[in-house]
Amino acid sequence: MSGNSIGVLFKVTTWGESHGPATGAVVEGCPSGIDLAEEDIQKWLNRRRPGSSPGSSARKEEDAVKILSGTFQGKTTGTSISLLIENTNFEKGAYENIKEVFRPGHGDFTYFRKYGIRDYRGGGRASARETAARVAAGAVAHKIILQAGVEVVAYTAALGGIAIKRGKNLEKTVTYEDIAANHLLCPDPDAARAIEDRLAEARRSGDSLGGIVEIIVRGCPPGLGEPVFDKVDADLAKALMSIGTVKGVEVGAGFKVAEMTGSEANDPMTPEGFLSNHAGGILAGITTGQNIVLRVAVKPIPSIEKLQKTIDVRGNPAELSVKGRHDVSAIPRIVPVCEAMVMIVLADCLLRQEACKFKR
């Protein structure tokens, strides 16, 4: 049933399977008169492209986006924007060996149970391929939040058990350039080197790795979020948890609040601003004006070469070693996907807040 749309005023509807002819998004709610060219979107897609990082597959995806509607003479018209990305480079037949068996940890079992149909082609909508449409839509959201001075930066905070060392000002100072300095989109070069070794080792053993992505929002005005259900943290949690491999979402101090007292957790207020940011920029579901700080737990890629116990489509026991071009970790490719989802939510919040200020 319906469920492929996110957002109220800025609304993104996606479509496309990993092994169909194309994938894409319809983006509604982009105000008119904004410069928007294919290059503006392409540069975001390029960030999620499988690179030369030890964690990425060798599969080459072009991910060339086309704008099919919603712009005229290089500017948005205010009407729905259709974005299309052709699937040019999948291996036909590459998934024949998994046609008959379910992959542990993978969505093919649940899709089969939900829809009663077996689409064995590389995961269908449950494939990481689906996230390309999210990144493309996020590029449009970026245009909107930029007009309000909002910036979203995500990076690899941990991978395979190796965490970044963070200076206390990381959230305030980290730049896209810092992050782009290595293939892992990791702001700590020492951690990045250790992670590369860890990824190489996992690849050799036919296994995969999980990690943590951190997302920082800077310049966000106070007042965004629509209580009591469309709170900005609630909408962010949904948007991030809807990414395939995410199993946890935290705001600010996150799970650490469980061990704090009120006097520790509360961020004292002064005329110059807050003295700390345990709230992660959100109080009672509304932005405070501080940086928004989010963290997501990313599970290891389920498709691994290591032999696993499983069942086939008839329910009989089976063993499976997944061959083929698979990433060792969803990180770093998931990093721009996290950015995109946050930008999509914030674009929607900004537009909804406009209405809130009606005649005020």
CB-based contact 157:214 (threshold 8 Å): yes
- What is d(CA 241, CA 263) in angstroms, rounded to the nearest whole number? 30
3-state secondary structure string, 2-68? CCCEECCCCEEEEECCCCCCEEEEEEECCCCCCECCHHHHHHHHHHCCCCCCCCCCCCCCCCCEEEC
Task: Report how far apart, in Å, the C-alpha atoms of 280 and of each of 7, 15, 170, 253, 293 are.
Answer: 22, 32, 14, 7, 5
CB-based contact 25:134 (threshold 8 Å): yes
In angstroms, what is the minimal distance from the CB of 225 to a copy of itself? 7
3-state SS class at 325: coil
20 touches a copy of itself (CB under 8 A): yes
- What is d(CA 116, CA 308) in angstroms, rounded to the nearest whole number? 24
Single out the segment in contact with a copy of itself by CB under 8 A; choices: 8-16, 38-46, 47-55, 169-177: 8-16
Of 74-93, binders to a copy of itself (CB under 8 A) are 75, 77-82, 84
Of 285-314, binders to a copy of itself (CB under 8 A) are 285-289, 297-304, 306, 308-311
In angstroms, what is the minimal distance from the CB of 22 to a copy of itself? 5
In angstroms, what is the minimal distance from the CB of 177 to a copy of itself? 26
Of 229-268, binders to a copy of itself (CB under 8 A) are 229-231, 233-242, 244, 247-268
In angstroms, what is the minimal distance from the CB of 252 to a copy of itself? 6
- What is d(CA 345, CA 251) in angstroms, rounded to the nearest whole number? 15
Contacts of 142 (CB under 8 A, 6+ apart): 44, 152, 343
Of 43-62, binders to a copy of itself (CB under 8 A) are none
Of 337-356, binders to a copy of itself (CB under 8 A) are 350-356
In angstroms, what is the minimal distance from the CB of 221 to a copy of itself? 8
Comparing CB distances to a copy of itself, the nearer of 116 and 177 is 116
Size of the site for a copy of itself (CB under 8 A): 158
Ramachandran assignment for 198, one of left (phi > 0), alpha (psi -120 to 50 degrees), beta (any other): alpha
Task: Report how far apart, in Å, the C-alpha atoms of 159 and of each of 176, 177, 201, 227 are.
Answer: 19, 20, 13, 34
Comparing CB distances to a copy of itself, the nearer of 144 and 174 is 144
Of 122-181, binders to a copy of itself (CB under 8 A) are 123-126, 130, 144, 147-148, 158, 160-161
195 touches a copy of itself (CB under 8 A): no
In angstroms, what is the minimal distance from the CB of 242 to a copy of itself? 4
Of 196-225, binders to a copy of itself (CB under 8 A) are 202, 207-212, 222-225
Of 266-285, binders to a copy of itself (CB under 8 A) are 266-271, 275, 278-280, 282-285
